[in-house]
Amino acid sequence: MGYQVIQDIAMVIELCEMTMEELAQDLGVSRITVSNWLSGKYEISEKNIAAFYEYTFKRGIKLNRIKQQLYREDLANEDEILLFHGAKTEIEGELNLDFSKSRNDFGVGFYCGESLEQSAMFVATYPSSSLYMLKFNPLGLKGKEFKVSREWMLMIAYFRERLGAYAHSDAVVSLVEELKGVDYIIAPIADNRMFEIIDQFIDGEITDVQCQHCLSATDLGNQYVFISQKALEQVDILERCFLANAEKEAYLTSRREGYELNRDKVKVARKLYREQGRYIEDIL
């Protein structure tokens, strides 16, 4: 799926109340070139696509956020959910589970986020990354939702193969059994900082209560994990959106700032809940 760049050019011209000639001048091309793009006579080169989106973002027009709002307003019914997927390159063909790795948060699955910024942020360091907007209708599907809890912590550690000897304990096996027959999972997003905290819990350095509060402090939002083909058939790609370098840098800056704040919150949570809860060897 390509970018809807022609529609986006027309949108920018209208939003900025500018002429094709003015846009052409800003992009360093001729008016005829822009006209040929809009008419579909000429295909836009990758270089010019990147230049257009870079120009648009730096001008203060957040196209992807505008599209997010429009798509959310256009959802057909209350059951449909707008989601986002950051891709390192491009999704080719129909959605399927064939290219998913097993050592993800919940094993093999197609992972999407509720937040545009979080989904884009995770692929912002890749040169050819893009952002997909999708809609999901859960009608007739079996879902499982996790909150920031001991059960969620154990499942993340299990599927990320961090539990070691605890992986075959009765409590863990029981949690894994609960996922049988489930089509999709809703759960907090885990990142590298979370893995560090979970490892401290698994290594017996902190209690489950300390771990839970430390993880709550990172607050990355929820992800949807589609683990059955039946669920994927109820996910529709709405659009592939371009991520300009300036936009990627904005997300990475936000991530760095958030990391600093979350790091301090984790330190406070770890101290505040010291000795509260149970250590993993007592639980499993």
Structure tokens at 277: 């809860």
Nearest of 141, 130, 134 to residue 236 by alpha carbon: 134
pLDDT given for residue 248 in this prediction:
95
Higher pLDDT pick, 224 / 208 = 224
Domains of the chain (ranges; CATH) run 1-61 (1.10.260.40), 80-283 (no CATH)
pLDDT given for residue 216 in this prediction:
79
Mean pLDDT of 62-84: 91
Question: How does pLDDT run across 107-133, given as a tens digit for each residue?
Answer: 999 999 999 999 999 999 999 999 999
Arithmetic mean of pLDDT over the chain: 90
How far the first Cα of the chain sits from its last, in Å, is: 47
41 Cβ contact partners less than 8 Å away, ≥ 6 residues apart: none
Question: How does pLDDT run across 211-270, given as a tens digit for each residue?
Answer: 888 887 776 789 999 999 999 999 999 999 999 999 999 998 887 777 777 777 788 888
Confidence of residue 30 (pLDDT cuts 50, 70, 90): very high
Spatial contact of 189 and 220, defined as CB atoms under 8 Å apart: yes
Structure tokens at 63: 């196209």
* Residues in the chain, total: 284
Nearest of 273, 280, 87, 283 to residue 200 by alpha carbon: 280
Confidence of residue 83 (pLDDT cuts 50, 70, 90): very high
Higher pLDDT pick, 173 / 98 = 173
Which amino acid, residue 159? F
Determine the distance from the C-alpha atom of residue 21 to the mean position of all C-alpha atoms in its chain, rounded to a whole number. 37
pLDDT at residue 84 above 70?
yes
Higher pLDDT pick, 169 / 77 = 169
Q: What are phi and psi of 235, to 5 degrees?
A: -110, 125
CA distances from 117 to 6, 58, 220, 236 (A): 24, 17, 10, 20
Question: How does pLDDT run across 183-201, given as a tens digit for each residue?
Answer: 999 999 877 777 888 888 8
- H or E segment at 242? strand 235-242
Mean pLDDT of 58-66: 95
C-alpha R_g of the chain: 22
* Total-model pTM: 0.91
pLDDT given for residue 14 in this prediction:
92
Query: Tokens 């001729």 appear where?
Result: 30
Mean pLDDT of 138-157: 93
pLDDT given for residue 4 in this prediction:
94
pLDDT at residue 140 above 90?
yes
Mean pLDDT of 204-214: 87
CA distances from 153 to 92, 97, 149, 203 (A): 33, 24, 6, 13
pLDDT given for residue 1 in this prediction:
66
Confidence of residue 59 (pLDDT cuts 50, 70, 90): very high
Mean pLDDT of 206-211: 88
pLDDT given for residue 214 in this prediction:
82
pLDDT given for residue 193 in this prediction:
74
pLDDT given for residue 41 in this prediction:
86
Nearest of 206, 201, 215, 197 to residue 274 by alpha carbon: 206
How many CA atoms are closer than 13 Å to the CA of 38, on its beta-carbon side?
A: 17
Starting at the edge strand found earlier in the chain, the sheet holding 110-113 runs 143-145, 184-188, 222-226, 110-113, 81-87, 130-136, 235-242
pLDDT given for residue 146 in this prediction:
95
Mean pLDDT of 34-43: 89
